[in-house]
Amino acid sequence: MSKHRRRVKQTRSLEDRMAEQATKLKEQADQLPAGEEREALLKRARIAETGAHLSDWLTSPGLRPPQ
């Protein structure tokens, strides 16, 4: 008996999914009082936003090698 990897075809881009995740995390954090749990959610939201913008940064003209 062999194990098979579960394959999933993504219908939305990684950037879109990460931006949506960041929005959800911020909404969850807004429902919580100030404290460690809220700060952890906000940190995860910042990381997701950074990931969502990563491809934009990588394709920016400032990072291209000289011709």
Give a yes or no: residue 32 inside a domain. Answer: yes
36 belongs to a structural domain: yes
pLDDT value at position 18? Answer: 92
Q: Judge whether 4 lies within some domain.
A: no
Axis crossing angle, helix 36-58 with helix 14-30, rounded to the nearest 10: 160
* Residue 32: other Cβ atoms inside 10 A: 14
Q: Is residue 31 assigned to a domain? A: yes
Count of domains forming the chain: 1
Going residue by residue through the chain (67 aa), what tens digit of pLDDT does each one get?
Answer: 678 888 888 899 888 999 999 999 999 999 999 999 999 999 999 999 999 888 778 778 776 666 6
Task: Record the pTM.
Answer: 0.74
Token pair in block for residue 50: 């950074």
The residues, any chain, with a CB within 8 Å of residue 46's CB and separated by 6 or more, are 22
Give residue 56's domain range: 14-60
In the prediction, which pLDDT does 58 show? Answer: 79
